[in-house]
Amino acid sequence: MEGRLSMRPPNLRRRLPMLCVCTFFVGGLIEFIMCSSGFYNVTSVNQGKKEAEKQQKGNDFWMRVKARRKAREGFLFNSYMHALLAVLSVILSAQALDTAREDIQLFEDFDGSGDLLVLYEVTVSSDRSSGGVYGEYDVFPRGIGNVLEQLSEEGRSDASFEAHLTRGVWKAEAGGPRTIFPPGAMLMAKIPEEGRKEKWGKLSWALSGVLGASFEGMDPSHDSFAWIKPSVTPDGLMWKGLPYEPTCTENLTPWLAVLPCSDRLGLAAVFMGGESSKIEFAESEFFSLGLSASVTANDEAESRVDMTARLEIQLPPDSSVAQRLLRTRATGRDADFPLCPVFGAENTNIVKAPPRVEAQPVVVDRSLLRDDSSLTGEGYPGRLRAVYLLNVRNRANETAAVTVFDQLPFFLRPLWHSGGRQILNSSGAQALDMDLIAIKQTDHWKQPTVFRVEVALGPGEEWQMRVPVLKSHIHTKSYSYACEKGFDVEAAMYEVRMTDRSYRG
């Protein structure tokens, strides 16, 4: 089994201080034993006798005293050196090792259908010092560390990113264990403002080799996808989605490379080991891969890097993978459960979460319908008519401020000043208040329409916005598909702010 371990050998330079501690401790112990057993005394006596034979008999006593004194001084000097070097080694090795843990959460019958929702996460953290070589890592994936190094200028500023690949639509009405991402690819990043565009491009290209090749299409300098532009929130969060990115088990291969033991050891072997597991992953209704990493500058000399690799999947109750996970959870250990040495038993956990998960207090739904009766009398054919529908519902007992960040590609043009625009709330239909919307218009060629909607809802209130959308033709010579053949719009991002909490979805 050791020959199959896909983990890199530990960085011996970072292990050296701990080895020094052990060496000097053993040396000091030997010195203590030798002194306690009288070794130095016996040796000094023998040496004193030999020297005394060459001297006068009256000097024999003083020679023995001098020999014993030298032996004791040598022992004290060696003991002090061992103690000093041990203390220095402890100080040097205090932050030498990375920390890692592996967890599985099982949500059984979370939506009433009997299905099992499995959430697998690996978290690795490392403390970095600017005085050493920044690219040296022990367990932390070096490739992810190099990406963070580029984003944060070698740890001198904070930076983070989060990428997800999802297949299937989440159908549970009760919510999810955390934010559930929509189908396709999603990338979010918090990057320092200086050189933000170039760093975003490097990040998208790097992730194309870790999760999916289409992430490179998010690079603004990409000629074939020049109309795909990232959005930026007021606090500097960049995000972009690709709704047409296919997600399947072949994306597992590069994703597994960031795990310390891949799928050979630990809980990953129980969860993902074997071809049968891959087949069940491919047949599942909901499958999501995620990778997030961040660097936090603690001070001018040190920083901390964190990475979380996440896999989320919905399995039927008769699934062999589901049964194996539940059996492992019940027994605590399994014959086919070799621990990953990086985590150890204390950092390897499989827990059973509550079956019902608390839903988010605010629900945001957005859709783009293909037909809009408001454009019927304006001479537009049915295949070019659509309506943008945004619905926000507050289920909490307090007021919630909701901000929705969205964008539409250049060939989907919202008609903000059309007679068909309106909002619906508890008081009925009203004209759309344009003061609620901040818009950056499209150039009708490549730039998307970027807009932000801000509303405040009281307890139990619901708000809905309808805006007619006109679909335009695009040249198939410049793009690989035409909008009249159908196009899936990427997901929007929203932010909810309440009295004691705030979150994004």
> Which parts of 94-163 fold into alpha helices (H)?
142-152
Same domain, 39 and 144: no
Residue 96 has what pLDDT?
46
Q: Which residue has the higher pLDDT, 490 or 325?
A: 325
Which of 7-11, 131-135, 482-486 has the highest mean predicted lDDT (pLDDT)? 131-135
Has residue 130 been placed in a domain?
yes
Q: Average pLDDT in the 2-29 region?
A: 44
pLDDT tens digit sequence for 146-205: 888 888 876 677 888 898 888 877 665 555 556 677 777 888 888 887 888 888 888 888
Same domain, 411 and 468: yes
Q: Does 103 score more than 50 pLDDT?
A: yes
Mean pLDDT of 359-370: 75
CATH number of the domain within which 493 lies:
2.60.40.1170
Neighbours of 51 (CB within 10 A): 15
Rounded CA gap, 201 and 216, in Å?
8
Looking at the fold, whether 141 and 186 belong to one and the same domain comes out as yes
On average, the pLDDT of the chain sits at 70
Tokens coding 482: 């035409």
What is the pLDDT, as a whole number, of residue 194? 81
**Average pLDDT rounded to a whole number, residues 5-9:** 35
Cα distance between residue 261 and residue 263, in whole Å: 6
Q: What percent of the chain lies above the pLDDT cut of 90?
A: 1
258 and 336 within one domain: yes
* CA–CA separation, 295 and 146 (whole Å): 11
Q: What is the pLDDT of residue 184?
A: 78
The answer to whether position 414 is within a domain reads yes
Which H/E stretch holds residue 429?
A: strand 428-430
Do 329 and 367 share a domain, yes or no? no
**Number of independent structural domains in the chain:** 3
Same domain (yes/no): 119, 48: no
pLDDT at 131: 46
- Whether residue 32 lies inside any domain: the answer is yes
Domain assignment present for 109: no
Q: Note whether 262 and 153 are same-domain residues.
A: yes
Q: Is residue 123 part of a domain?
A: yes
pLDDT at 53 over 60: no
Q: What percent of the chain has pLDDT over 70?
A: 58
Same domain, 83 and 168: no
Confidence of residue 354 (pLDDT cuts 50, 70, 90): low
DSSP 301-364: SEEEEEEEEEEEEEE-TT-HHHHHHHHHHHHS--TT-PPPTTT-GGGEEEEEE-SS-PPPSEEE
- The pLDDT of 303-308, averaged and rounded, is 86
Residue 98 is assigned to a structural domain of this protein = no
Please indicate, yes or no, if residue 216 is contained in any of the structural domains. yes
Residue 310 lies in a domain: yes
Same domain, 377 and 346: no
Cα–Cα distances in angstroms (integers) from residue 5 to residues 66, 249, 269, in the given order? 60, 21, 11
Question: Of 93, 127, 150, which marks where a domain is finished?
Answer: 93
450-489 tens-digit pLDDT = 888 888 888 888 888 888 887 776 654 454 444 434 455 6
Q: Which of 307, 336, 353 is the last residue of a domain?
A: 353
Mean pLDDT of 438-445: 72
Kindly tell me if the per-residue pLDDT of 300 is higher than 70.
Answer: no
Higher pLDDT, 90 or 170: 170
Domain boundary among 328, 353, 378: 353
Contacts of 143 (CB under 8 A, 6+ apart): 206, 210, 258
Distance of CA 135 to the CA centre of its chain: 19
Backbone conformation region of residue 112, classed left if phi is above 0, alpha if psi is from -120 to 50, else beta? left
Distance CA 457, CA 462 (A): 7
Residue predicted with more confidence, 344 or 171 = 344
Q: How confident is the model at residue 296 (pLDDT cuts 50, 70, 90)?
A: confident
pLDDT digits (tens, 9 = 90+) for 391-408: 888 888 888 888 888 877
For the whole prediction, is pTM greater than 0.75? no
User: Nearest Cα to 449, choosing from 463, 458, 439, 436?
Assistant: 439
Q: Are residues 344 and 381 in the same domain?
A: no
Assess whether 246 and 148 both reside in one domain.
yes
| CB burial of residue 93 (10 Å; 0-12, 13-18, 19+) | middle
- Which domain, by its residues, includes 39? 13-93
State yes or no: pLDDT of 116 exceeds 60.
yes
Please report the pLDDT score of residue 233 as a whole number. Answer: 76
Does 69 lie in the same domain as 152?
no
